[in-house]
């Protein structure tokens, strides 16, 4: 299980005069600091897929970067199976498999070499790496390009290889930041099926997406972030119930001020 409790992160603004009018009007802009994440809490249990939703600029990426240890939170806690990993990012990197939209592959290496390199960084033996790559190759349909250089990969090939690289070390939690963006229908379905395999194996998955059909297909829970705060955190059925079953309308309802007060962190388990 992964638990996120009251995460917050602010960034200093070097020259406030250069901000756009919309940036100046953002309530998170306070003095010379922009409070990108102000109070984000949610959790994802064993075998659950959590859909992380929010409009552009809501604070999702900053939240995920804190989970990946790329950013240190100003306050709050990140617990994996009860261990707070904020103070020990090395433990977090062992326990978390993270796919970011900005993480590139080494173009002169093959797909297999890219994946194996990350396995070596995690201290895996060559035998274990080879066996895991075989398993991932079947799950993610990598066979036809696994031994080609990544510099000539299509978007789908790159994404599937990046996912394999993120999970080579059998992490306790998997975090996927918009994993299907730019993929065709077949590659998207392969990725979604892979997420199901993680779910079946009992691995908690945090799945950031703008595609509500993917949320409907995969997710057990939904968390909505807006303006750096958790506006909703509950089951997919409770999310549907906000607007008579329409996920689109439920999402818009979460963002409205009228309902935010009622559904901010709608349930706390455990």
Is 250 a residue whose pLDDT tops 50? yes
Across 10-24, 93-107, 167-181, least confident range: 10-24
Q: What is the CATH number of the domain that holds 221?
A: 3.40.50.300
Question: Does residue 158 fall inside a structural domain?
Answer: no
Instruction: Answer yes or no: is 79 within a domain.
Output: yes
Please give the sequence-ordered ranges of beta strands (E in DSSP) within 63-204, or none if there are none.
75-80, 83-84, 96-99, 173-177
pLDDT at 32: 84
Q: Positive or negative, the Cα torsion across 192, 148, 173, 88?
A: negative
204 assigned to some structural domain? yes
Amino acid 38: pLDDT: 94
pLDDT tens across 70-92, in order?
Answer: 899 999 999 988 888 888 888 88
Range of the domain at 255: 2-103+173-263
pLDDT: which is higher, 53 or 264: 53
In a domain, 167, yes or no: no
Q: Is residue 230 part of a domain?
A: yes
If pLDDT is split at 50, 70 and 90, which confidence band does 267 have?
A: very low
Is residue 30 domain-resident?
yes
Task: Return the percentage of the chain with pLDDT > 90, whole number.
Answer: 71
Q: CA angle, corner 4, sides to 58 and 76, nearest 5?
A: 85
Distance CA 107, CA 116 (A): 14
* Per-residue confidence (pLDDT) for residue 262, from 0 to 100: 42
What is the number of domains present in the chain? 1
Integer angstrom CA distances of residue 92 from 2, 40, 97, 115: 11, 18, 9, 19
The CA-based angle 84-86-90, given to 5 degrees, is 95
Please give the pLDDT value at position 269: 44
Task: Decide if 212 is inside a domain.
Answer: yes
- The token pair at 56 is 């552009």
pLDDT for the residue 102: 67
Flag whether 117 is in a domain: no
């Amino acid at each position: 299980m992964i638990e996120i409790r009251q995460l917050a992160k602010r960034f200093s603004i070097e020259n406030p005069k250069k901000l756009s009018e919309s940036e100046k009007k953002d309530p998170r802009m306070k003095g010379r600091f922009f409070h990108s994440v102000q109070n984000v809490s949610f959790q994802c249990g064993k075998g659950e897929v959590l859909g992380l939703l929010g409009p552009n600029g809501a604070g999702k990426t900053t939240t995920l970067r804190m989970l990946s240890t790329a950013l240190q939170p100003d306050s709050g806690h990140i617990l994996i199976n009860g261990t707070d990993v904020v103070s020990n990012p090395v433990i977090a990197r062992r326990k978390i498999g993270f796919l970011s939209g900005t993480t590139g592959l080494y173009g002169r290496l093959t797909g297999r070499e890219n994946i194996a390199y990350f396995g070596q960084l995690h201290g895996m033996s060559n035998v274990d790496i080879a066996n895991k790559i075989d398993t991932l190759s079947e799950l993610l349909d990598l066979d036809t390009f696994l031994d080609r250089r990544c510099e000539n990969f299509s978007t789908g090939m790159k994404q599937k290889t990046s996912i394999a690289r993120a999970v080579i070390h059998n992490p306790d939690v998997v975090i996927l930041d918009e994993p299907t963006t730019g993929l065709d229908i077949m590659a998207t379905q392969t990725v979604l099926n892979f997420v199901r395999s993680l779910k079946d194996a009992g691995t908690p998955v945090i799945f950031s997406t703008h595609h509500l059909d993917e949320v409907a297909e995969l997710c057990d829970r939904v968390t909505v972030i807006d303006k750096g705060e958790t506006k909703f955190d509950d089951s997919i059925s409770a999310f549907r119930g906000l607007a008579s079953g329409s996920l689109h309308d439920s999402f818009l309802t979460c963002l409205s001020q009228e309902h935010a007060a009622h559904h901010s962190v709608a349930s706390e388990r455990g």
